[in-house]
Amino acid sequence: MSVLNVTPDSFSDGGLFVDVEVAVSHALAQVAAGADIIDVGGESTRPGAQRISAREERRRVLPVIEQLVAHDVVVSVDTMRAEVADAAVATGAALVNDVSGGLADPEMYAWVAGEQVPYVAMHWRGHSADMDELARYDDVVAEVCAELGDRLDGLIGAGVDPARVVVDPGLGFAKTAAHNWALLAGMPDLRALGFPVLIGASRKRFLGELLGAQGQPRPVQERDAATDAITALAAASGAWGVRVHDVRGSRDAVAVAGAWRDGASGAVGPAGTAAGGSPVGVAADHDGAADHARAGDREQR
C-alpha cells in the first residue's frame, strides 16, 4: 500500500503532492514500482496535527481518486469520516483505511456495513493533538489486541462482513518507540485476532530515533532502508500488507522475505513470486479483503 498524502502538513511529504497532476503522476510511478494499492489521504495525522473540515478533505482527495481510478488503479481512502469515505467510494475508491478504527465517527460502522466495502481498522486512542498523552500501557501488545478486539466486535455487530476487515496496530499513534517495537515483535498475537494485519511503520519517528546520532533523529527522508527492513520482517511474519512511502525498496524486501520463506521447499518462482505465480507477501492466508479491493468490488455502490 503506497502512501499518497495530498496534504500540506504530513510529516514526511507534506506539500509535495497538493497539485492533482503531480499527485497522480507520483501514484502512477509507485504502481509501476510495484504498489498494489494507492492510499490517498487528505488529512494529516502526524503528532500534533489539527483537524480540517470534511469539505476541505473531500476537495483534496476526490479529484485524485477520480483520476487514479480512470487509470485502473486500486485506491484506498485514508479517512476517519463516513461522509468522506462515502464520497470517495462513490468516486471509485475500493477500500477505506480508517486510522481511528471507527472511533472518530459514530456513523462509520453502519456505513461500512451498508456498503460492505473493505475496511482497515487501526488501533487508535485519540486525535493527533492529544495522542502522545495517551501512550500509557501496562502490556501494550495485550491492550492493543484487546482494544482492536472491541473494534472488531463493533464492526461485526453492526453487520460488517469479517472477510472484508483488516487490522492495523497503529504504530506511532499513542505509542512510544518501545511500544512500537513490542507490537512488531508481537505479530503472532496480532495475527491471532484472525484478521489480515497491515503494518504502517514507514519513515516514522521511532525509526529516526533508532538511527539517530549525537542526540538528533535520522532525517525523515533517510529512513527508507530501515522501513524496508521492517517490511521484510513483517512479510516473513505473515503480515497482509505494508503501508510505505518508497514502494520499490519494500517490494524488493517482500520478494526477498518470500524467497527466504519458500526457499527450503524449492517453491520460489521468478521475480519474487511463489510457485503458481501469486505475488509473495500479499494476503498470505486471509485475503478476502484484498481480493475485494483488488477487484474493485463495487456491487453495493
Active site residues: 204, 243
Q: Write down the residue that cell numbers 503472532 correspond to.
A: 188
DSSP codes, the chain:
-EEEE-SS--TTTTTTT-SHHHHHHHHHHHHHTT-S-EEEE-S--STTPPP--HHHHHHHHHHHHHHHHHTT--EEEE-S-HHHHHHHHHHT--EEEETTTTSS-TTHHHHHHHHT--EEEE---S-TTTGGGG---SSHHHHHHHHHHHHHHHHHHTT--GGGEEEE--TTSS--HHHHHHHHHTHHHHHTTSS-BEE--TT-HHHHHHH-BTTBPPPGGG-HHHHHHHHHHHHHTT-SEE-BS-HHHHHHHHHHHHHHHHHTTT-B-GGGBBTTSPBTTSSSS--HHHHHHHHT--TT-
What is the SS3 assignment for 239-287? CCEECECCHHHHHHHHHHHHHHHHHCCCCECHHHEECCCCECCCCCCCC
C-beta of residue 13 within 8 angstroms of C-beta of residue 6 = no
- Determine the Cα–Cα distance for residues 256 and 236; give it in Å rounded to an integer: 9
